Amino acid sequence: MGKLVLVPTPLGNLEDITLRSLNVLKNCTLVLAEDTRTTGKLFHLLGLSAPLQSYHMHNEHKVLEKTVERIAQAAGTVALVTDAGTPGISDPGFLLVRACIGAGIEVETLPGPTAFVPALVSSGLPSDRFVFEGFLPLKKGRQTRLTELAQEKRTLVLYESPHKIAKTLAELAVVFGPERPACVAREISKMHETYHRGTLAELVAHFAVQPAKGELVLVVGGAL
């Protein structure tokens, strides 16, 4: 029976790949990739040539059963990677892991790049206790979720897209209060990595005149 290994890939800096991850990717029989084009470019830069198969949020329900069967019948390790970071963290992975466990297939996750960890630690906000929320609901349930989170005393960690960050900050300032401390981390581990720290009101003002670009992590202080 084969084995599933979840392999984190670099967020931007190729040096973030671990020796252990490289070893798995060099020796696996198949790599399940969120986007085979993105992973193909990464493999070219890293000198890897493992066979790739598409596995992403738009097809995972459809191909899940056959993918589990293929892993079970594999002669060695099957790796799962996403475009960047650790599979399963706001990326495909959970359904496959659960199905493999249910089928008695060994599952292993390697340590490695995850955007919210450096963003949290570098924010200057308490990191001993925190809540990772990923992406907020887009429409249905969004206001309810914001109201619930307003009472959370632990530091909050959110993912947000550049074209929505200004709106999200404005909503948080209304629901959480304008003086709540926060930090927007941009382009973690990349050349233009930056941190914008201040109150929600200050961040709203900043991003109103300075459009955001790149991958973002939003860290917000908990309720006092």
pLDDT > 90? residue 115: yes
Give the angle 103-105-108 at the CA atoms, nearest 5°. Answer: 135
Average pLDDT in the chain: 96
Q: What is the pLDDT of residue 139?
A: 87
Helices 200-209 & 165-176, crossing angle to 10 degrees?
160
pLDDT digits (tens, 9 = 90+) for 61-110: 999 999 999 999 999 999 999 999 999 999 999 999 999 999 999 999 99
Residue 109 CA to residue 86 CA, distance in Å, equals 9
pLDDT digits (tens, 9 = 90+) for 173-207: 999 999 999 999 999 999 999 999 999 999 999 99
**Residues 111-122, mean pLDDT to the nearest whole number:** 96
pLDDT > 90? residue 127: yes
The CATH H-level superfamily of 3-109 is Tetrapyrrole methylase, N-terminal domain (3.40.1010.10)
Residue 169: C-alpha distances to residues 59, 165, 179, 201, 203 (Å): 32, 6, 12, 8, 7
pLDDT digits (tens, 9 = 90+) for 29-51: 999 999 999 999 999 999 999 99
CB 37 within 8 A of CB 214: no
Q: Which fold has domain 116-220?
A: 3.30.950
* Sequence spans of domains, the chain: 3-109, 116-220
Is beta strand 216-220 parallel, antiparallel or unpaired with respect to 181-186?
antiparallel
